[in-house]
Structure 1
Amino acid sequence: MQNIEEINKIIKENLAVMLYFSAPTCNVCHALKPKLLEAIDENFKEFKIVSVDISIEQEIAANFSVFTIPTVLIFLDAKEFLRKSRHMSVDEVIKEIKRPYNVMIS
C-alpha cells in the first residue's frame, strides 16, 4: 500500500509516471492493464508505473480527482499531461504520449 506523499515523491523524482487506477471488481481494468503495461514497457523505457486499487486507497483516488475506473494519469516532468478514463484504447494512449515523451528524453 502507498500513500499520497509516496506517490507525489515518485511523480517528482521520475521523468515519466503512469498512475493506473482500478479495483478488483472491474473487469475492464483487468483486461486493459496487461496490454497497457506491455505497450508502455515496449515504447517508453523511462516510465515508472504505479497501480492504485481504489477499493483500498480511496483517499489517493480522491486526491487525484479519480472517480471512475479504469483511469490512467500520465505525468511528464512532474506535470499531469494526460488523463484517460473508462473507454480508452492502448494505441490511443501510446500515440498521445509518444511525441512529448520523445522530445522530453532526447
Structure 2
Amino acid sequence: MSGTPMLVACPHCHALNRVARERLDQAPNCGHCHQPLFAGKPIALSTAHFDLHAARSELPLVVDFWAPWCGPCLAMAPQFEAAAKTLEPHVRLAKVDTDAEPALGARFGIRSIPTMLLFRDGREIARQSGAMNSAQIVAWVRANAPRA
C-alpha cells in the first residue's frame, strides 16, 4: 500500500527503520547509524541477527546457505551478488556461512549447498538447491515473491 511505512532492518547496525514504500528507490539511510539501507550486495547474517532480518523486517529475504570449501557455492557467489543489484531495494539478499553458523543450517534442514531460502514475514515460502546464474536467481525470486 502506497504511503504505508514498512520496517527495514539496517544491514550495518541491524536497527529497524520505518521507510515509506515509495521511498525504497530513493536510497534511504539508516536513522541510527546513517549508513545506506541498500548497498546492492548481499549481507552476511549470523544467528544473532537472522530473525531480525527474516521476521521483523518487512522485505522479502533471500538467503544463500553456503560454505567456503564448496566449489558451486563459490561459483554462484558473484551471480548472487549480481542478483542483489537487480532485486534491491524490494528484496534483501543475504548469505549464511553454514560452517560459521551451523545452528542456522540445522534449524532450516540444509542438506546440500548452495541452497537458497526465500522468507516473507518470517516464514519460508520457497527453497531451491543448486547453483544458479543471476538471471535464474532473479526469475526464481520473482516467481515466488511476485511483488518483489
Which TM-score tier does this pair reach, normalised by the shorter chain? Answer: 0.7 to 0.9
Structure 1 portions without partners, runs of 5+ = none
Aligned with residue 8 of structure 1, among 51, 63, 67: 51
Instruction: Give the number of the structure with larger relative contact order, counting CA–CA contacts within 8 Å between residues 6 or more apart.
Output: 1
TM-score, with length taken from structure 1? 0.78
What is the 5 A alignment of 1:53-72? 53-72=97-116
**Is the deviation greater in 8-17 or in 40-49?**
40-49
Number of matched residues?
103
TM-score, with length taken from structure 2? 0.59
**Is the deviation greater in 86-95 or in 35-44?**
86-95
Structure 2 portions without partners, runs of 5+ = 1-44
1:18 equivalent to 2:101? Answer no
Question: SS state of the match for residue 118, structure 2?
Answer: strand
Alpha-carbon separation, structure 2, partners of 1:6 and 1:43: 21
Alpha-carbon separation, structure 2, partners of 1:86 and 1:94: 15
1:41 equivalent to 2:85? Answer yes
Higher alpha-carbon Rg: 2
1:76 paired residue number: 120
Q: Counting helix residues as a fraction of each chain, which structure ranks higher? A: 1
Using a 3 Å threshold, how does the CA distance of structure 1 residues 25 and 9 change in structure 2: closer, same or farther? same
After TM superposition, give the deviation of residue 102 of structure 1 in Å: 4.7
Query: Could you list the runs of 4 or more consecutive aligned residues of structure 1 that deviate by over 4 angstroms after TM superposition?
Result: none
Does the aligned pair in 2 maintain the 1:20–1:50 contact within 8 Å?
Answer: yes
